[in-house]
Amino acid sequence: MKFKFTSLFFVLLSFVLILAGCTATTKSQTSSKDDKTLTISLGPDLMTWDIHNHTTTSTEVVHANVFDYLLMRNQDGEIKPHLAKSWKKTNDTTYEFELEQGVKFHNGEELTAEDVKFTFERVAKDKSLRSHSDYSNIKEVKVLDDLKLQIITSEPDPMLLSRISRQASGILPKDYIKENGWDHFKKNPIGSGPLKFVEWKKDNRVVLEPYDEYFGKKVTDWGKVVFKAIPEDSTRVAELLAGNVDIAANIPPSDWDRIKDSKNSEVVNGPSNRTYLLFLRTQEGWPTADLKVREAIDYAINDKALVENLLSGGGTPSLTRVNPGNLGANEELYGKYNYDVEKAKKLLTEAGFKDGLSIQLAGPSGRYLQDRELLQLIAGMLEKVGIKTDMNILKWGPFVELREQGKFKDGYLIALGASFFDAGQSLDYYSSERAKTINGYSNKEIDRLLNKAATSTNEKERIEMYTRVQEIANKEKPILPLFQLDQFYGLSENVKFQPRIDELIYVPDIEKK
Amino acid sequence: MWKYFIRRLLQVPPVIFIITLMIFGLVYIAGDPVLMMLPADATPQEIQQLRHALGFDQPFYIQFGNYIMDLLRGDFGDSYQYGEPALSLVLERLPATLELATASMIVAIIIAIPLGIWSAIKPNTFIDLFATGFSVLGKAIPNFWLGIMLILIFAVNLHILPVSGTGTWWHLVLPSITLGTAMSAEITRLVRSNMLEIMSQDFIRTARSKGLTSFIVIFKHAFRNSLVPVITITFLQAAALVGGSLITEMIFAWPGLGQLIIQAVYEKDLPIIQAAVFVTALMIILINLLTDVLYRILDPRIKFN
């Protein structure tokens, strides 16, 4: 074979020219970003501007900056006045609210009680809306005058305030939607929030800008806010490192070092209201029906080690799913975990599994931070005490189906959030009614407490009842809470941002450094 | 020729009808999308309620009947995920996909044809080895790896190109190189082998003996004659691209069909899947037609029949 170096030279030269022809550009062309632009990437794109017809947190993050809630949670999850400056309970099924005066939608029209009525009655009545079930208890919204209204529920609803300070509670402009129709609204949304809509290029970006006449805390540090859709994790990190994104959400652990090692960005984390749970069957015929086996599994898993190894400490082991900041949290169970290999082995022997046993655990892949890896580590820990674990790791779609149809074997792993910040929502899985189609758990005392608490409007009493439910649940272990999961964000050097427990990114709180 | 066209066009509706039936059946078997639409902690009652509200608890023949009636009126229905007409969601993403497909094809041709010809006229030299090696590599390198590497080098470290998204021509460069490299591999091999075969034929020897310059011999006589299979394979690859390139679109956050379709499949969003398949099938049929026409222009021996 002859090597012709001149030819080689030409080949290489032509390649370089092709590349150079394509790539010759200046730095300024690589980013359309200036100092006053805040660019945020959550991963997925916005689903829709119909706030009642989606259930995704990432979409809510955008909505929360454009629409105002009657009440809003602060950084730590406490409910604070927002559009409603005051409220009171007039009877078991009625709350009365008084709105702030002079709040205007982005088109200049005033926000009144009629808009509140329009918003809540739509979602409460239209059964095909995805958020309907969260609001179906609202019977009527009564307008008393322009700024006063009552929300009347069919049953006493101790969770009402939580209900209306979260997803799908942004107040919509009634007249604007009536005049122009929903199709027009979904393309040109108007709210009363701190940011107003500029454009939405699907699967690409949502552009917002500050609303100068906002009634609350205005956005002054930024001239433009862009939510960029970048579904691929490594690309989102690359955009952050290249300086084109200021806040990148959902950063996987494999990229933390890259970000920390760079000069212009950092990783911040903070608690979320999401907890990893291991559901175990209690129905006759499954080995986990025996409390001792469930306890053995609990003692075999080192929750602390899971958090350290998988999340560099970004999480908190817990024996309950109700985290501090949620109504009814049993703080004695938070921050604790059971781990004792010898005890686990002993419990197994007592349960009659001296030579070990085999179980199958299901879990989703790619849905939650480190979900697949977590199940693998758990299987390893169980192996050490003599429980051979067959893992059934599935994509989210098949996984939810397996769960709903009750086709999983001994148990499954899932990370559930609690958007109401109320034990009434989080502890529902312990009720016989709910558990019937899942792990079959049933405890009369828990049923009684949960039923009573669900309609009790005495907050102190509810807290006591929920605390008690968590105590019983911790003894009987039909569900093993593993740890509260942190959220991880990559930040550029330009911004000051503190993660919120409700996972929102509220732009008025984000400062420019 | 017109007869030929009409015959080809008449084949379109039955093909699309059969595809529609198959997809409806497959998605039906995969289960309804209600579970994907609700949060993970939805109660069985909530699931049942939404299932009923959306009509997913109806028997198969009713769901299918309604679906076909809508389709006949040209209505693909609203996307379950976005609550908007599926066809317009698909059509909105089509330009981005076509833009990327065209750019990738251009990149592929720019790389493949010179390299293929060059290696064919210098067989068994270093250039030939390089070209062969390049096409093996191009085919073997996974798209996601190449894409991420290009981002790291040109966008993150050198800062000369944007990382992802769309907006300017520069945004097109990295994704089209990523896709084009893989495409060029096959074309390079094909150009080379065709050229080699043709270069050894009698008419080339005749052309050379007439005293024509080797430039004319290579490009006018040999290359043109080797084009028919090259065009086939190029357009076949282009047809594969019009459905959107999933991995490349994901990596570069390119707002095309690929991203939309994969999301729709995960969420069992039947209206979008159907609309996307319909549009893609039409495009592929059109591209195939175009290929046939090109053939006949390049090689008049092929007749329209």
Dist. CA A3–CA B265, nearest whole Å: 51
Query: Can you give the pLDDT at residue B146?
Result: 92
Of A187, A211, A191, A213, nearest in space to A201 by CA:
A187
* B139/B64 same-domain check: no
Answer whether residue B285 is part of any domain. no
Lowest mean pLDDT among A161-170, A330-339, A468-477, B116-125: B116-125
My answer on whether A480 and A497 are in the same domain is: no
pLDDT at A30: 42
Q: What is the pLDDT of residue A290?
A: 95
Flag if A204 and B165 touch (Cβ within 8 Å): yes
Q: Are A31 and B252 a contacting pair at CB < 8 A?
A: no
In B166-205, the residues whose Cβ lies within 8 Å of chain A are 166-168, 170, 173, 177
Q: Answer yes or no: do B59 and B121 share one domain.
A: no
Give first-to-last CA distance, chain A, whole Å: 63
Confidence of residue B166 (pLDDT cuts 50, 70, 90): confident
Q: Do A1 and B156 touch (CB under 8 A)?
A: no
Q: Are B19 and B279 in contact (CB under 8 A)?
A: no
Q: Is the pLDDT of residue A11 over 50?
A: no
Residue that is last in its domain, among B72, B105, B126: B72
Q: Note whether residue B21 is domain-resident.
A: yes
What is the per-residue pLDDT across B224-274, written as a single tens digit (0 to 9) for each?
A: 888 888 888 888 888 888 776 888 998 999 999 988 888 888 888 888 998
C-alpha span between B89 and B78 (Å, rounded) = 9
| pLDDT, position A239 | 94
Whether residue A397 sits in one domain with residue A281:
yes
In this predicted structure, the answer to whether residue A399 has a pLDDT above a threshold of 50 is: yes
Cβ separation of B38 and A55 shorter than 8 Å? yes
Whether B13 and B127 map to the same domain: the answer is no
Assign residue A103 the CATH number of its domain.
3.90.76.10
Domain co-membership, B8 together with B62: yes
Strand intervals (E) in chain B: none
Do B130 and A11 lie within an 8 Å CB cutoff? yes
Are residues A147 and A124 part of one domain?
A: yes
- Tell whether A362 is covered by a domain: yes
Residues B62 and B143 in one domain: no
Contacts of A235 in chain B (CB under 8 A): 148, 151, 163-164, 251-253
A261 or B29: which carries more pLDDT confidence? A261
B256 and B107 share a domain? yes
Residue B57 within any structural domain of the chain: yes
Same domain, A322 and A465: yes
What's the mean pLDDT in A398-408? 86
| Res. A52 pLDDT band, cuts 50 70 90 | very high
Answer yes or no: do A284 and A357 share one domain.
Answer: yes
CATH value at residue B203: 1.10.3720.10
Scanning every residue of chain A, which has its alpha carbon at the shortest distance from the alpha carbon of B160?
A: A27
The answer to whether B7 and B261 are in contact (CB under 8 A) is no
Closest CA in chain A for residue B248: A232
Question: Inter-chain contact A401–B31, Cβ cutoff 8 Å?
Answer: yes
Considering the domain architecture, whether residues A266 and A380 belong to the same structural domain is answered as no
B156 falls within a domain: yes
User: A208-217, A435-444, A463-472: which has the minimum mean pLDDT?
Assistant: A435-444
Counting one residue from chain A and one from chain B, the pairs whose CB atoms sit within 8 A come to: 175
Q: What is the pLDDT of residue A12?
A: 44
Residue B91 CB partners (closer than 8 Å, separation 6+): B279
In chain A, the number of structural domains is: 3
**E strand or H helix at B155:** none
Q: Give the residue on B whose Cα is nearest the Cα of A436.
A: B44
The CA distance from A141 to B24, in Å, is: 42
Number of domains in chain B: 2
Are B193 and B252 in a shared domain?
A: yes
pLDDT of residue A13 exceeding 70: no
Q: Which residue has the tokens 């689903």?
A: A47
pLDDT of residue A4: 44
What pLDDT score does A34 carry?
67
Of A11, A23, A128, the CB nearest to B53: A128
**Cβ–Cβ of B266/A396 closer than 8 Å?**
yes
CB of A385 closer than 8 Å to CB of A296: yes
Higher-confidence position of A325 and B32? A325
- Tell me if A25 and B50 make a contact (CB, 8 A cut-off): no
Asked if A362 and A333 touch (Cβ cutoff 8 Å), the reply is: no
Rounded to the nearest angstrom, the minimum Cα separation between A2 and chain B is: 5
Q: Which has the closest alpha carbon to A281: A439, A442, A404?
A: A439
Tokens of A481: 């809470």
Shared domain check, A441 and A348:
yes
Measured at the alpha carbon of residue A54, what is the angle toward residues A53 and A59, in degrees to the nearest 5?
125
Question: The domain spanning residue A299 has which CATH number?
Answer: 3.10.105.10
Q: With CB atoms and an 8 Å threshold, state whether A127 touches B42.
A: no
B57 shares contact with chain A (CB less than 8 Å): no
DSSP A449: H
pLDDT tops 90 at residue A432 = yes
Q: What is the mean pLDDT of chain A?
A: 90
Q: Which two tokens stand for residue A367?
A: 């849905």
A102 CA: distance to closest CA in chain B (Å) = 33
Interface of B with A in 209-238 (CB under 8 A): none
B48 touches chain A (CB under 8 A): no
d(CA B57, CA B136): 51
For the record, the structure tokens of A122 come out as 């739509």
> Would you place residue A33 in the very low, low, confident or very high pLDDT band (cuts 50, 70, 90)?
low
Residues in contact with B241: Cβ distance below 8 Å, sequence separation at least 6, in sequence order: B97, B100, B101, B104, B105, B179
- Of B289, B298, B302, B291, which is closest to residue B2 (Cα–Cα)? B289
Verify whether the Cβ–Cβ distance B126 to A1 is below 8 Å.
yes
Res. B46: pLDDT tops 90: no
Best of A4, A26, A130 to disrupt the B interface (most B CBs within 10 Å) is A130
Contacts of A25 in chain B (CB under 8 A): 160-161, 170
Domain span at B62:
2-72
Q: Is residue B251 part of a domain?
A: yes
Contact B302, B232 (CB under 8 A): no
Position A330 in a domain: yes
One domain for residues B38 and B155 = no
Closest approach of A398 to chain B, Cα-based (Å): 9
Amino acid sitting at position A306:
L
- Looking at the fold, whether A157 and A252 belong to one and the same domain comes out as no
Q: What is the spatial distance between Cα A138 and Cα A122, in angstroms, rounded to a whole number?
A: 10
Chain B neighbors of A50, CB-CB under 8 A: 83
Average the pLDDT over B17-37 and give the result.
82
Contact A377/A310 with Cβ under 8 angstroms?
A: yes
Give chain B positions within 8 Å (CB) of A205. 165
> Closest chain A residue to B266 measured between Cα atoms?
A397
Using a CB-CB cut-off of 8 Å, the residues of chain B touching A417 are 39-41
Cα–Cα distance measured from residue A288 to residue A476, given in angstroms and rounded to the nearest whole number: 11
Which residues in chain B are contacts of A425 at CB distance < 8 A?
41
* Residue A20 or A246, more confident: A246
In whole angstroms, what is the distance from residue A184 CA to residue A384 CA? 60
All residues of chain B having their beta carbon less than 8 Å from the beta carbon of residue A11 are 115, 118, 127, 130
Say which DSSP state A53 is in: S
Find the CATH number of the domain harbouring A496.
3.40.190.10
Q: Are residues B101 and B244 in the same domain?
A: yes
- Residues A247, A136: one domain? no
- Supply the pTM of this predicted model: 0.86
d(CA A89, CA A152): 10
- Do B110 and B173 lie in one domain? The reply is yes
- Residues A372, A412, single domain; the answer is yes
As a whole number of Å, the end-to-end CA separation of chain B is 8
Which domain range does residue A242 map to? 37-41+187-270+488-512
Q: Do B89 and A202 touch (CB under 8 A)?
A: yes
- pLDDT category at A24 given cuts 50, 70, 90 is very low
pLDDT at B56: 86
DSSP A146: T
pLDDT of A271 reads 92
Same domain, B213 and B182: yes
| Best residue in B45, B94, B97, B164 for a mutation probing chain A (most A CBs within 10 Å) | B164
- pLDDT one-digit tens code per residue, A113-142: 999 999 999 999 998 888 898 899 999 999
**A343 and A482 inside one domain:** yes
Q: Choose between A24 and A508: higher pLDDT.
A: A508
Per the CB < 8 A criterion, the answer to whether A348 and A356 are in contact is yes
Residue at which a domain ends, from A174, A200, A233: A174
With DSSP H G I counted as helix, E B as strand and the rest as coil, what are the percentages for chain A, rounded to 5? 35, 25, 40
Residues B65 and B134 in one domain: no
Nearest by CB to B126, from A8, A22, A414: name it: A8
Residue A218: HSE in the Cβ half-sphere, 13 Å Cα cutoff? 10
d(CA B61, CA A497): 54
3-state helix, strand, coil in chain B (%, to 5): 75, 0, 25
- How many other β-carbons are positioned within 10 Å of the β-carbon of residue A26? 8
Collect all residues of chain B within an 8 Å Cβ-Cβ radius of residue A32. Answer: 167-168
The secondary structure element, H or E, covering residue A187 is helix A174-187
Q: Tell how far CA A68 is from the center of its chain.
A: 19
Does residue B205 surpass a pLDDT of 80?
A: yes
Q: What is the pLDDT of residues B144-164, one digit of tens each?
A: 899 999 999 999 989 899 999
Chain A CB within 8 Å of residue B88 CB: no
With bands split at pLDDT 50, 70 and 90, how would you rate the model's confidence at B305?
A: low
Domain assignment of residue A53, yes or no: no
A497 lies in the same domain as A393:
no
Chain segment B93-130, per-residue pLDDT in tens? 999 999 999 999 999 999 998 898 888 888 888 888 88
